[in-house]
Structures are given as C-alpha cells and as structure tokens.
C-alpha cells in the first residue's frame, strides 16, 4: 500500500509535532511543510524534507493525500480550513468550543462542494476528551460529566500574564483540585464551582524594579482568566523559568459518574498525562489523517469530527489484525 502523503500547513509547535509524529508512523510520509515565512529561513527536522511557501500549495495538489492545518484557532483556521478543503482533504485542531458549529458549517459546505473530507477539532480537547464524554453519556445516560484539566501549561493564560505591564516572561499552570477529583472518583457527584475545580499557578519574571505587589494584584484580578480562581503568583528569574518551566506538559481527566439499578454506581475515567501537549495533539492529528484518506477512498465528503469516525479507521492494522490483537 502506498504511504499517506501529509502536507503540513504552518510550522509552529503543532506543525513540528506533526512532523515528528509522521516519523513514528511507518505508513505516513511528509509531502512538504508549507509556511507563510520565507522557506529559506525555516529549518525542519526531516532529512530531505521540503519547505514551500503556503501560496505554492495548489502546485502540490497531486503530491499530497491529506493536509494537516497547524494554524491557530483565533484567526488562522476559520479562514484556512474552509479555503483549503476546496483543494485537499484536511485535518485541523480548531479548539474554540463555542464556535465549532459555525466552523463545521463553513467547512462542510466547502468540502461537499469540492468532494473532499475535512475533519475538524481533532486533538485531545476537543478530541479524545470529547469522545470520552460521548461514550460516557451513551453508556450511562443517568449520570454526570466532569472534565478537569492539568496539571499543565495554558499558553493563553501565560500570554495574558505577559501583557501585564512590568512582566518580562511568564508560565501559567492549570492544576486540578485533588480533593475535587477524588470526590468525583468516589461517586459523590459534587456540584463544583469554577474555583473548586482548578487552581492557577503563575511563575512570573518581572522587570527589575517593577512593583511586584501591583503585578500580582493585576494578575489575580484579571477577569475571565484569573479572578474566578485561587491563583498563586511566584516571581522567579528568567534563568529559573528557562531551566524549570521550559516544557509544555498538560493533561487532565474526563469522568462520567453514572448509576444503573438499585443505586449501583459506575465510574468511567479517562486520563491523559502528557509531557508535551503539542506533540500529543499532533499524534492525534496524524491518526485522523489516516482516517481521512480512507474515508476519501470510499467517496465520503463533507465535514466530520471525531464523533463521526469509526475507531478502526485510525489504525494501520486490518480489521482481522485488530480483532485478533486488540479486541
């Protein structure tokens, strides 16, 4: 069988992660990295791998089975995914939960018109966490859902801290409240406020002579980001930040706590503990690229999410192998 030729569109953390994941999947190969930057300035990690301008994508139509679009959800993906699906089968990791229905409609219309498959919102949340919410709800209709995130770095919250005057650099960790997780695991079905579910730890490098008390207060009172949480602010040096906080770990839990007859309780827990959030997200994206190629081969078109894809489509193994080895 011929390999799945993957085009990477955008070369940030996710793009680099997809490149790494392609190396781990023997049935995949890199068709090229497509960037808005000058290709001469972009060094990639694939021996012999090619870098092109994003504007050259159309010329590579016949060399690419699936494009994985690695842009940001705020401004890149809402434009790029509906545009590129006119030409390619595509995967994205669109993660603005509230705007998924709108994004889906845009991608679906363009995909159906052009006869392509577009799988959106692939990753772990949305993605694997969503799948576990769905399976949990379907199996235990009488129950409650809980999603906890962390311990992990939130890029959005780290960026928000960096915008505070006097801040040079920052790293924010989202941390689930252990006692809340335990109460859920014990089937207590607690009602939890935002504050009771997660705390926020901020490691901040301040300008020399900055008013630390003012910075700390500004962070802690920031609406939406920190005001609703118990937040700790720790000032550290740039050296310490670079040494101890350079990774991008993340993870979390999805728990369905349900009941059947006679008060019998059932807990379904899905947990991720990830050393690298972008590398794991990218690994999920590549598995769904495999599914996109298969769906396309069957003549399927339109927008899909992880909910619509039969699990077997993610695996390079045949149905026989899967049944014999993993069922």
Using CB under 8 A, list all residues that contact a second copy.
Answer: 17, 20-21, 24-26, 97, 100-101, 104, 121, 126, 128, 130-135, 137-142, 185, 260-261, 263-276, 279-280, 282-284, 287, 290, 305-312, 314-316, 319-320, 322-324, 326-327
Contact 132, 160 (CB under 8 A): no
* Nearest to 153, CA basis, from 109, 195, 111, 203: 203
In terms of CB distance, is 206 or 251 closer to a second copy? 251
In terms of CB distance, is 5 or 290 closer to a second copy? 290
CB of 31 to a second copy, least distance (A): 19
Cα–Cα distance measured from residue 314 to residue 290, given in angstroms and rounded to the nearest whole number: 6
In terms of CB distance, is 54 or 183 closer to a second copy? 183
SS3 202: strand
CB of 178 to a second copy, least distance (A): 15
Side-chain half-sphere of 164: how many Cα atoms within 13 Å? 29
DSSP designation for 263: T
* Nearest to 231, CA basis, from 155, 161, 147: 161
In terms of CB distance, is 57 or 131 closer to a second copy? 131
Cα–Cα distance measured from residue 258 to residue 265, given in angstroms and rounded to the nearest whole number: 6
In terms of CB distance, is 88 or 270 closer to a second copy? 270
CB of 20 to a second copy, least distance (A): 4
CB of 190 to a second copy, least distance (A): 17
CB of 286 to a second copy, least distance (A): 8
Cα–Cα distance measured from residue 124 to residue 128, given in angstroms and rounded to the nearest whole number: 4
């Amino acid at each position: 069988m011929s390999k799945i030729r993957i085009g990477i569109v955008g070369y940030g953390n996710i793009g680099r992660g997809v490149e790494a994941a392609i190396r781990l999947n023997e049935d995949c190969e890199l068709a090229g990295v497509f960037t808005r930057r000058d290709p001469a300035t972009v060094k990639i990690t694939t021996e012999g791998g090619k870098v092109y301008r994003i504007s050259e994508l159309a010329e590579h139509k016949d060399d690419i089975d699936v494009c994985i679009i690695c842009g940001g959800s705020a401004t890149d993906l809402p434009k790029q995914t509906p545009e590129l699906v006119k030409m390619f089968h595509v995967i994205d990791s669109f993660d603005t939960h509230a705007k998924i229905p709108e994004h889906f409609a845009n991608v679906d219309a363009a995909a159906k018109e052009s006869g392509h498959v577009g799988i959106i919102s692939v990753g772990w949340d949305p993605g694997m966490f969503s799948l576990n919410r769905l399976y949990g709800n379907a199996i235990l209709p009488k129950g409650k859902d809980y999603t906890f995130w962390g311990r992990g770095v939130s890029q959005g919250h780290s960026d928000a801290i960096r915008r505070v005057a006097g801040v040079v650099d920052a790293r924010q960790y989202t941390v689930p409240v252990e006692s809340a997780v335990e109460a859920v695991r014990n089937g207590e079905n607690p009602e939890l406020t935002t504050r009771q579910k997660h705390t926020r730890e901020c490691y901040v490098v301040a300008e020399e002579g900055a008013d630390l008390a003012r910075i700390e207060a500004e962070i802690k009172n920031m609406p939406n980001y920190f005001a609703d949480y118990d937040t700790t602010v720790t000032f550290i040096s740039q050296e310490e930040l670079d040494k101890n906080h350079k990774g991008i770990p993340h993870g979390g839990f999805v728990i369905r706590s349900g009941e059947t007859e006679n008060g019998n309780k059932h807990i379904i827990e899905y947990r991720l503990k990830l050393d690298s959030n972008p590398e794991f997200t990218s690994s999920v994206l590549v598995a769904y690229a495999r599914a996109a190629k298969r769906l396309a081969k069957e003549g399927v078109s339109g927008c899909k999410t992880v909910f619509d894809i039969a699990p077997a489509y993610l695996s390079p193994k045949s149905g026989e192998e899967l049944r014999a080895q993993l069922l």
